[in-house]
Amino acid sequence: ISFMNELSNVADAVGADIEQVRIGIGSDARIGYHFIYPGAGYGGSCFPKDVKALAAIARRAGVPAVLTEAVEDVNERQKHVLVDKILRHFKGRDLAGKTFALWGLAFKPATDDMREAPSRTIMESLWAKGANIRAYDPKAMEEAARIYGSRPELTLCDRALDALDGADGLIVVTEWKEFMAIDTDELKSRMRELAVFDGRNIYDPRRMKAQGIAYYGIGRAA
């Protein structure tokens, strides 16, 4: 996962399309397509804990854990990639008063688990810059309310479309199926500014751009 995320950052820098790279890598039968999807970082209770534990065991044994520590470092940086793209889109301007729709709070689909979820890093980074969040997740709304309480910068919405109202950008963090068939007419009628920050590469960049929507994926510079 971290390898693909690092490749996606290279793709962004050189103007390549990570999807074409992914198809090429996965076509090798020795590798396949499982887990070679770039994104906004991994979370949950297993991967982060296990990587940290393995690195700690290696250090205690006096063995350099270069690769294991790099996996963790890449993942932590990856959780900030969408925020960096948002700042570039707004040309480094203050985000105070900006509102962002955020789809996906859980660290992966089919769970309400928000432990070390990328959504938390993204929201907290944007709040620190003065932004507001309108969030929706099919399962993790109660968990988000438990973690963040009645934080005024966070509005938990009943529907994905409701989160779009008055938004200056849409941030997709979790690849829930209901997010994949996006209605661009709804985006245009509800959002204040048409910008999509796709942390799971679930949308077609060409279709978005053809609809006049500024699109930022992970490694989809082309």
Looking at 46, 66, 128, 145, which residue is catalytic? Answer: 46
| 138 within 8 A of 103, measured Cβ to Cβ | no
Classified as helix, coil or strand, 99 is strand
**């950052």: which residue's tokens?**
9
> Which residues on neighbouring strands pair with residue 154, listed in sequence order?
133
Whether 157 is a known active-site residue: answer: no
DSSP 216: E
Of residues 124, 130, 139, 205, the one with CA closest to residue 174: 139
Identity (one letter) of the amino acid at 107?
A: F
Helix, strand, or coil (residue 70):
helix
Q: Residues with catalytic annotation?
A: 46
